[in-house]
Amino acid sequence: MCPIPNGVKNLILALLILFVLVPFARAEEELLDRVVAVVNDEIITQAELDAVLRPVYEDYKLQYSGEELAELVREARTKILGQLIEDKLVYQEAVAQDIVINEDEIEKELSDFRKRMENPDEFDAMLEREGMNMKSLREKFKRQLMIRRLQDMEIRSRVVISPAEIEKFYRDNPDKFRKTARVKVRSLTVKKSPEAREKGIADEKAKERMDSLFLKLKQGENFEALVASSSEDSRAKEKEPSQWFEKGSMIESVDEAIFKTPKGHLTGIVETPVGFHIFKVEDVEEARQISFQEARDQISGYLFQVKSNERFREWTEQLKKTAYISIR
């Protein structure tokens, strides 16, 4: 058998990916509108599936290619279709149980959705991008609210977490409630040249510049002012540091220098593959065990979510047993 040329292999693979996704172009209306599943008396079309799958595909495409991309897309398609089927089943059950959503509830949902948009133009662009109008968007929100209301009735209202369960979880999982030491720091940074960073060689000019800045600090120059005027760190313009760094999360030389420096003090010059740094420790939280009182609400929320998910799976499985489901 003759070997298949690489160019032909790539073309075949590209076609396989396209067949998995089914073309997203809206011009292919016949293909987009084909039925991919039937749930009782409702259908799920290729267009509905693609609307959810498209952004996942675009994200995957940035990170993967070839057979790996095709396999991930197939898996995503299966999961998304399963979710759409479950949504149909739950909505149909909500209709069967006469769940009522009034216009005020829909209006509030719409208002909250608008507030998440940066500007009105973004909202209009979203409608156009999704091929929706206000009527279809309101209908979508109504369906979501009906599903949520039914889940509250059938799932969440029936989940109970006892104090004994919370205490047992805390006792059985001590490692989950240990807080690692962490710090907030401000850095004065002089970067090495691109060549020095790439090849891992010394950069005397960068070192001399940092030595000069360190001398200014010894002579009493304000650290924050020097950071603002001279640091090449991406956070140099921050008025105050906002990010906490846990012990062990940075490279060894930085980690060691920072965690042996008291709050309010400066480290010496620390060299890294990127450049030279001086750190000021702005805040410190020591390692400690989180108390049961502190952890109780967090544990309760976690156990509630776990039990809710279990109950939802059991409940939807019961719905599926009495439903007609056909995947095309």
Q: What average pLDDT does this structure show over 25-31? A: 42
* pLDDT band, very low/low/confident/very high, at 126 (cuts 50, 70, 90): confident
Residue 25: predicted pLDDT? 40
For residue 77, the model assigns a pLDDT of 94
Q: Give the pLDDT score at 178.
A: 92
- Same domain? 149 vs 280: no
% of the chain at pLDDT higher than 70: 90
Mean pLDDT along residues 255-277: 95
Q: Does residue 120 sit in the same domain as residue 243?
A: no
Per-residue pLDDT, 18: 41
Q: Does residue 166 lie in a domain region?
A: no
Q: Is the pLDDT of residue 141 over 60?
A: yes
Residue 3's pLDDT is 45
Does pLDDT of 225 surpass 50? yes
Using CA atoms, how far apart are residues 197 and 190, in angstroms rounded to an integer?
12
Query: Would residue 309 count as lying in a domain?
Result: no
Decide if 86 contacts 39 (C-beta within 8 A).
Answer: no
The CATH number that applies at residue 144 is 1.10.4030.10
Average pLDDT over residues 294-306: 95
| Residues ≥6 apart with Cβ < 8 Å to 40 | 88, 89, 92, 323, 324, 325
Confidence of residue 28 (pLDDT cuts 50, 70, 90): very low
Task: Assess whether pLDDT exceeds 90 at residue 230.
Answer: yes
199, 240: one domain: yes
Tell whether the model's pLDDT for residue 27 goes beyond 70.
no
Lowest mean pLDDT among 53-57, 122-126, 213-217: 122-126
Nearest to 80 by CA among 32, 44, 29: 44
Average pLDDT of the residues of the chain: 87
Q: Beta strand pairing status for 35-39 and 42-45?
A: antiparallel
Q: Over range 131-152, report the average pLDDT.
A: 90
- In 10 A of CB 94, how many CB atoms? 22
Residue 165, in any domain of the structure:
no
| Residue 263 included in any domain | yes
What pLDDT, on a 0 to 100 scale, did the predictor assign at position 9? 43
**Helix, strand, coil abundance in the chain, percent, nearest 5:** 60, 15, 25
Give the pLDDT confidence score for residue 23 in this predicted structure. 40
Taking 50 as the threshold, does the pLDDT of residue 243 lie above it? yes
* One domain, residues 209 and 73: no
| 170 falls within a domain | no
Is residue 12 located within the same domain as residue 63? yes
CATH code: domain of residue 241: 3.10.50.40
3-class DSSP state for residue 26? Answer: coil
Q: What is the DSSP string of 290-308?
A: PPHHHHHHHHHHHHHHHHH
Tell me the two tokens of residue 58.
Answer: 């675009």
Q: Are residues 281 and 222 in the same domain?
A: yes
In a domain, 25, yes or no: yes
Most confident of the following: 129-133, 236-240, 261-265: 261-265
What's the domain count of the chain?
Answer: 2
Q: Is 139 in the same domain as 201?
A: no
Please compute the mean of the pLDDT values over residues 111-115 and round it to a whole number.
86
- Give mean pLDDT, residues 52-76: 91
Same domain, 193 and 138: no
Same domain for 146 and 12: yes
Is 150 found in the same domain as 186? no
Per-residue confidence band for 20, with pLDDT thresholds at 50, 70 and 90: very low
Give the global pTM. 0.62
Is residue 305 assigned to a domain? no
Question: Are residues 125 and 226 both part of a single domain?
Answer: no
The pLDDT > 90 percentage for the chain reads 71
Domain of 262 in residue numbering reads as: 181-286
